[in-house]
Structure 1
Amino acid sequence: MLKVIFYIKAQKANKNGEAPIFARINYMAKEVAVSSGKSISLDRWSQTNKLRNVLKLEKEKVIKHGLDNFQLAIEKKFNELFKIDPDVSLFLLKKELSGKAKTKKEAITILEVMERHNTYFKKKVDAGDRAAASLQKYERAKDLLNNFMKKQYRINDIDSTEINSAFVHNLEEYLTYESTFKGRKGIKNNSVVKYIKNYKTACNHCIKLDLLEKNPFNIYQGRLNVKDAVFLSQEELNRIESKKISIERLDKVRDIFLFSCYTGYAPVDASNLTHDNISTANNGQTWLMTNRAKTSIRANVPVLPPTLHIIKKYDGKQEGLIPRISNQKMNAYLKEIADICGIDKHLTWYVARHTFATTVTLGNGVRIENVSAMMGHTNIKQTQHYAKVLDQNVMDDMLKVMERYK
């Protein structure tokens, strides 16, 4: 709730004993002070009970009328900003009232852009629409940007409209060679590209709110270095599935890994599945139905026999469909499983997702559009990355062409 209280700054009284009147604006446990442009003597402020009593002097009536109008202006401007975003920035409100902001689009700094976006994104996380890990990446992007400006320009913030190609180039150079995180110096190309994509996304959010005219990061042309996805062949998948493993922790990790191989779910999505996510269609086919935590995109997958076997094996033994385990432990134990099964590949939880996309689906003739839908991809280009590595599919298609030309 917005609250406005008028007070005087006695320490700033002039030689005539008149002190400036300020408005203290409170909202959501935050406050800011704004000058009203009016002043009054200390004695009269006290004798009129801060202009609350019946006023007789014409000068004081004029001051009171001016304060009333100023409060209305505060409330009007606040309501305008509230319609854009309920989490009103009092800093922006003050700039609007003091006339320092020429327009809303010129008023917002780059860190305010990140703060507005991250506050909005947190609401989506709290509602279960996006993953908390994605919010952590946006917060990390904000911290990196803050550190860059302090080191490179010796400033705490900058107006978004002042960001130019030199700023973006220097930011890329700083992220690549100078930034530090967990004892490591410098960030690899793909991570740099993703961080700057985060800045683009935050700016696009503020463009939608009519707080920015254009996106200052659109000038960035960095590209991801696309690497072939590591996945298991059908023979390797069978080897892991049929291997007798007596160590309980490895047997459990093997089941979790195979579950993702046959569903395509990412770690966070697989761990969050419960019996509420299981649905049976009219034709009797069992489905797993959920939204991807990363993108909030629907990702429904038919339950294959190996998946059903794993679900039944762990039924009633924990809250979710499969046991929960951290990514760090999962990937560490998968190295042991790779050694036991004689697989010369760096196994991670995400190799299971790649295996679903390639060997289990595309490799068995499932149309790429359907694979994209099951994996919860935002566009088919993401899925095409997996299709490129399937030489066997190319050969199968070309054999049909060869038959025709015989």
Structure 2
Amino acid sequence: MIKTFFYLKTDKQNNEGESPIYAKIELQGKKTTLSIGKYISKERWNFTNKLRNKLRLNTEKNCKSTIDLIERKIEDAYIELSQHNPDVTLVDIKNKLNGKTTKIGEIDIIELFKKHNDYFNKKYQTGERSKASLQKYNRAKDLLTNYIKVKHAKASFSITDIDNQFIYNLESYLKYESTFKSKVGISHNSVVKYFQCFKTVCHYGIKRNLIISNPFLTYDEKLVVKEAVFLTKDELERIETKQFSSERLNRVKDIFLFSCYTSYAPIDVKNLTKSNLIKDNTDSYWIKTNRAKTGIKSNVPVLPPVKRIIDKYVDSDSEKLLPMISNQKINEYLKEIADLCRIDKKLTHYVARHTFATTVTLGNGVSIENVSSMMGHTRITMTQHYAKVLDSNVKNDMDKLHQKFA
């Protein structure tokens, strides 16, 4: 809720030795100040308890009337603006008080990004969205800010001025000129994903009646689908049967195999606790949770290899289902595991997720609908990508056709 306080700015004085009265407005942890256009001496301000006591001088009564009027105007402006925009800011309120209300569509794209990201941060704080997604939107805002600064020599850019030239010059800048950690240029797929962020932010603005159209809809580049890297049955068995002399490698091996047999991504594995392990009426175990990235409900049956891994750590004092190891360390140790198991593939946590989709489930006849549900996919087309790479499925289907023709 909005709060307003009035104070005396004693570092400024008029010719009569009086100081101006200011209003301090607070909203959602942020503050701004506003002059009310009235002056009073410090002595009278303190003597009247900031004009709260009974007043006798007409000048002081006028000051008090102005304070009450300003306080009502601030409250009325907040109520009116918040009816149309739940993410109203102090800038919006000051513009409203000064008669500078922004017309729909004239809002600056960076200001809109800030509104969206503040809203998205609230969803992250309540566990509705992942930290990685929030970081992606903040990175997209920074990239757009840099482009506007470098190519247009501005700190802001009105959405109504964004045209096709702006959009495709932005794409070129991101692909070939943008720098991050000494690396020049961003890959095609990453650029497409950043443009998806731009579209989402504008869609947010449309739903809140801040803008009337989405200029980024003209960008129609698609992701280049790359072949998913996954482990074959033989490679998976090699890791399972390998015993390492180092305890750290054995722990990382367990976490990696857990992902291979459940499809849980790094952030999801990290968040799993013993309360996520559920036994149903048939004494079968399930891992039940919501995917951090999408918020989609995901229930995965516990296969025997997973149960053996869980039982290994069940007596630990931690409420976590598995040991806590950073993604950076896991990926570092997986390189050692790949070398020791003679696997010529770059192992990452995501290779484990791809292995679940291909070798563990689709390759063993699990329906694509059930695989999609367990992986927390929002669209079945996301799962179909894995089905396309399985030659074994093609061979099995063709063997059935071969028998019919025989």
Same structural fold, with TM-score higher than 0.5 when normalized by the shorter chain: yes
Tell me: CA distance 1:56–1:253, structure 2 relative to 1, closer, same or farther (3 Å). closer
Give, in whole Å, the separation in 1 of the partners of 2:51 and 2:337: 79
Identity of aligned residues (%): 51
Count of paired positions: 399
3-state SS of paired residue (2:396): helix
Give, in whole Å, the separation in 1 of the partners of 2:71 and 2:39: 21
- Aligned-pair CA distance for 1:306: 0.3
Give, in whole Å, the separation in 2 of the partners of 1:86 and 1:100: 19
Give, in whole Å, the separation in 2 of the partners of 1:340 and 1:41: 79
Amino acid at match of 1:388: K
**Alignment TM-score, normalising by the size of structure 1:** 0.87
Give, in whole Å, the separation in 2 of the partners of 1:251 and 1:308: 16
Equivalences for residues 38-117 of structure 1 within 5 A = 53=55, 69-83=69-83, 87-103=87-103, 105-117=104-116
Assess if the C-alpha contact under 8 Å between 2:298 and 2:374 holds in 1: yes
- Aligned-pair CA distance for 1:85: 5.5
Partner of 1:385: 385
Tell me: CA distance 1:35–1:107, structure 2 relative to 1, closer, same or farther (3 Å). farther
**Alignment TM-score, normalising by the size of structure 2:** 0.87
Tell me: CA distance 1:41–1:360, structure 2 relative to 1, closer, same or farther (3 Å). closer
Tell me: CA distance 1:304–1:205, structure 2 relative to 1, closer, same or farther (3 Å). same
Give, in whole Å, the separation in 2 of the partners of 1:328 and 1:64: 61
Partner of 2:352: 352
Assess if the C-alpha contact under 8 Å between 1:3 and 1:27 holds in 2: no
Assess if the C-alpha contact under 8 Å between 1:279 and 1:286 holds in 2: yes
Give, in whole Å, the separation in 2 of the partners of 1:54 and 1:107: 48
The question of 1:264 aligning with 2:288 is answered: no
Give, in whole Å, the separation in 1 of the partners of 2:58 and 2:348: 81
Give, in whole Å, the separation in 2 of the partners of 1:135 and 1:344: 34
Give, in whole Å, the separation in 1 of the partners of 2:105 and 2:93: 13
Partner of 2:123: 124
Residue segments in structure 1 that go unaligned for 5+ positions in a row: none
Tell me: CA distance 1:101–1:107, structure 2 relative to 1, closer, same or farther (3 Å). farther
Amino acid at match of 1:109: D
Assess if the C-alpha contact under 8 Å between 1:7 and 1:24 holds in 2: no
Give, in whole Å, the separation in 2 of the partners of 1:107 and 1:68: 32
Give, in whole Å, the separation in 2 of the partners of 1:201 and 1:246: 49
- Aligned-pair CA distance for 1:399: 2.1
Partner of 2:150: 151
Over the residues paired in the alignment, what is the CA RMSD in angstroms?
3.1
Give, in whole Å, the separation in 2 of the partners of 1:310 and 1:347: 19
Equivalences for residues 10-29 of structure 1 within 5 A = 24-29=24-29
Partner of 1:174: 173
Q: C-alpha offsets along residues 3-60 of structure 1, whole Å, 9 cap, x if unaligned? A: 05487999798x9x99998755333453334576xx67879xx799899846769xx9
The question of 1:135 aligning with 2:134 is answered: yes
Amino acid at match of 1:125: Y
Tell me: CA distance 1:397–1:20, structure 2 relative to 1, closer, same or farther (3 Å). same
Q: Mean alpha-carbon deviation: is it higher for 169-178 or for 269-278?
A: 169-178
Give, in whole Å, the separation in 2 of the partners of 1:125 and 1:199: 19
- Aligned-pair CA distance for 1:120: 1.4
